[in-house]
Chain A
Amino acid sequence: MFLVAIVLSITFYNQFSEVLTNRILQQLNSIKTLKRLQVEKLIKAEWQSFRSSSDDMFHDDSLQLSLPNKVLETGIYDFTKYDLNREFTIGLVDASDGDCRVRTIPYKKIMNILLERTGMGETGESYLVGEDYRMRTQSRFFKDSTPHNIVVKTVGVTNALNNKLGKGLYKDYRNIDVYGVYGLIAVENLKLVILSEIDKDEVEAPLKSLKKRLFVLMFLVIVIVILISLFLTRIIIKPILNMKNSLKEMAGGNYNEISKFAKNSNEINEMFEALADLKKSLQGAVNFSKEIGSMNLNTQYTPKSKKDVLGKSLLKMRDKLLEFRNNEHISRINNKRQLVEGLENERQRLSRELHDGLGPLLTSLKFYIDNHVDDKDLRLEMGKIIDNTISEIRIMSNALSPSIMDDFGVGAALTNFTRDIKKASGISIIFEDLLKPANSNITKNQEIHIFRITQELVNNTLKHAKAKNIRITLSEFDDFVSLFYFDDGLGFNEDHVSLGSGIINIKERVEICNGKIQMQSKPGSTTFDIELPI
């Protein structure tokens, strides 16, 4: 834009200057031509009148001339060099009759023609120069000096004397640049150069003012251009820079610190909306990955489009993690189950060993004593000790794993267990067995877990709760079995259960059975609601 303004200005200036120069030169040319014709006409007219009259007899004396004494031939001459005052004199000589007649053309007549300055402006002038390169007519600029004293050896004069018509820009006798037009006047023996010149400065005055104006215009254009570009910078570049910074921030991984900007045009607005969308979708992805990072794997995420590679891979990652976690969960439960089942099997084995191995041995011992000890008192006493040992073993065996559970199920086992506890502790404990009397669907393992959970709960109550009443209900339905436990003890804080209180074991067993457990505890009422699917 700036360049265009300059190029336009220069072109315009050049064009204008050329036209102006041409116009000036043409004008000068026509002035020169007109004056040449007038001068020639004057001379010819004078010549004609001189030839036709015969009475005009002048002698040297009447003229202020000092003509050479040699015989003059008929013709027109430049007599300036003979003039005493070195005034421009055109001499007319007629020597046809042997007599020599001489007349001069008055200087004033010629000057009248030349001084006509129509269309010549302030500095324009027309003048004549002789063959000797001396000025013939009065200079406009040196009014006091004799023209003959002024040497005019300019390009114009030289060219004209070589019979070349022309025009151009050259230095005149004052050594000042002028536009000039020159031509030769050649009548008979007379040879004069006529020049019309005008100062370059005057000609170019409008050009200069134009130049000035153009400069001013250009300056204005530049200022406007700068202002406009500043304005554009403000409305376009600045938001773009802001956006660049935002993108940089985002590239650096920060998706939050993106401020709002002034939005000036629709395009910029749309770009910012797109940026906001990008930010939103990135933030969505970021939040989603955060959730995944903290293993909240049930978080949902919808990919922004079919090509949302990031979203898709995040989803894939989530699914993989979910699968991994599930597998891990399953294997963890399996490990626990195996551990617990191993423990239970070992308990059962030990219980059987005591009950069915050691028990009969002791009874055998008793038979042996019966058979071989004859002293009745001793026999009875020994028998008593053995009976006590057997009943102790029975208690141990039942505590390890009640055989009654194998033969009669968890209901019978718990009935026995609670009855024993009631006897031992004096607490009021009521167990209600609402299992199906026939065709119960509870598995052996579930029975063991239910028994152990109840055992653990009762032990907890006895150890910590100082309760007076315990109520246990075991109900079986088509698809689940419910164990409801209540005591009226001190209660506990669900969040701060000490590890020793066995609640962790209970939860573990519930988990192994894929069951649910709900606890509620306050002084006077603690309940456990456990459901196992069957």
Chain B
Amino acid sequence: MKTIKLVIADDHELFRNGLKELLKRHEDIEVVQCVSDGEELIKFVKTHPDIDIVLLDITMPNMDGFEALNKLKSVNTNVKPIIISMHDDGNYIAKCAKMGAFSYLLKNTDQEELVKVVRIVSEDKKYFSPNISEKMIDYMSENTVSEDILSKKEAEVLLLISKGNTTKEIAAELYVSSRTIETHRANILKKLNVKNTAELIIKAVKMKLIS
């Protein structure tokens, strides 16, 4: 059985050692090297292209985990990064997934889970635990990047304008200040390249932005 060659990148020595001790007990996993920041990691990976997995922390001095993820792509290697972080927010998880992380683990993950993930990833498979996936999906659902001309809020404002509401009424309805609505309105006019409300309505209907 092929051993899994692994590098640990974390700035806390105690953590690195603890992790190393823990992994040592599994015969199919070999901790090749421990580094304390992203720079050291990149340097090491460049000279050792046979590394399978890197356990990568996000918060590190000199070069943090995000930047290291980016750099790893440009280094011609097979190394598969697994993020192991204290951060449990969807933002971090989504960002790491986007940047090519094969998995995302919290630092207090049980060793069974940890070893399980290392083995799955070593087979070139991405794996996110149900817990982590949920957080990521929550975040993504809240922050859909719209491809529409108008933002979601602008579309709402446009709809309320077309219904004949005044700026003040729209502001009260959408829980924003009057000035915010005025600015939205000005931005909508600019985006649709019209000069006044009448032109705006005509053009919006034509573009099927409102019915």
Contact = CB atoms under 8 A, between A and B. Distances in A.
> Do A and B share a complex?
yes
A253 interface: no
Contact of A356 (B25, B59, B89, B95): B59
Contact of A371 (B25, B110, B143): B25
Nearest to A390: B108
Contacts of A401: none
A359 B176 contact: no
Contacts of B87: 403-404, 407
A394 B151 CA distance: 34
B107 A484 contact: no
Given A383-B110, A416-B89, A484 B21 contact: no
A101 interface: no
Contacts of B111: 367, 370
Nearest to A359: B86
Contacts of B174: 473
Nearest to A530: B177
B73 interface: no
Given A473-B175, A473-B180, A371 B18 contact: yes
Contacts of A394: 86, 88
B71 interface: no
B92 to A, nearest CB: 7
Contacts of B151: 434
B180 A407 contact: no
A528 B25 CA distance: 59
A421 interface: no
Contact of A486 (B21, B175, B179): B175
B165 interface: no
A475 B177 CA distance: 10
Contacts of B153: 432, 434, 475
| A interface, over-half SS | helix
A12 interface: no
Interface stretch (B9-17, B41-49, B118-126, B201-209): B9-17
A482 B177 contact: yes
A360 B180 contact: no
Most buried by B among A363, A390, A408, A432: A363
A406 to B, nearest CB: 10
A482 B91 contact: no
Given A356-B59, A473-B175, A371 B107 contact: no
A365 B176 CA distance: 48
Chain A interface size range: 35 or more
A279 interface: no
Contacts of A390: 86, 107-108
Interface in B74-131: 86-89, 91-92, 95, 107-108, 110-111
B145 interface: yes
Interface in B159-211: 174-177, 179-180, 183-184, 187
Interface in A365-380: 365-368, 370-371
Nearest to B146: A437
Contacts of B86: 355-356, 359-360, 363, 390, 394
A473 B176 contact: yes
B91 A407 contact: yes
A404 to B, nearest CB: 5
Nearest to B24: A371
Contact of B89 (A368, A404, A437): A404
A526 to B, nearest CB: 12
Most buried by B among A366, A367, A403, A412: A367
Given A364-B15, A367-B18, A370-B22, A359 B91 contact: no
B107 A359 contact: yes
A386 B19 CA distance: 16
Contacts of B176: 473, 475, 482, 484
B177 A364 contact: no
Interface in A232-258: none
A219 interface: no
A237 B108 CA distance: 105
A362 interface: yes
A531 interface: yes
A390 B88 CA distance: 11
A344 interface: no
A412 B175 contact: no
B177 A387 contact: no
A363 B89 contact: no
Interface string B131-172: 000000000001101000001010000000000000000000
Contacts of A408: 89, 91-92, 95
A371 B19 CA distance: 9
Most buried by A among B12, B107, B153, B180: B180
A387 B14 contact: no
Contacts of B59: 355-356, 403
Contacts of B21: 367-368, 371
Contact of A484 (B89, B110, B177): B177
Contacts of A367: 15, 18-19, 21-22, 111
Given A437-B145, A484-B175, A364 B180 contact: no
A465 B78 CA distance: 57
Given A364-B14, A408-B91, 13 more contacts: A356-B59, A360-B86, A360-B107, A371-B18, A371-B22, A390-B108, A394-B88, A403-B59, A408-B89, A473-B175, A475-B183, A477-B183, A529-B179
| A-B pairs, 6 with minimum CB distance | A367-B18, A471-B175, A364-B18, A363-B107, A360-B12, A529-B177
Interface of B: 10, 12, 14-15, 17-19, 21-22, 25, 59, 86-89, 91-92, 95, 107-108, 110-111, 142-143, 145, 151, 153, 174-177, 179-180, 183-184, 187
Interface of A: 355-356, 359-368, 370-371, 383, 386-387, 390, 394, 403-404, 407-408, 412, 415-416, 432-434, 437, 471-473, 475, 477, 482, 484, 486, 518, 529, 531
15 contacts: A356-B86, A360-B14, A361-B15, A363-B108, A367-B22, A403-B87, A404-B92, A408-B91, A408-B92, A412-B91, A432-B175, A475-B180, A477-B180, A529-B177, A531-B179
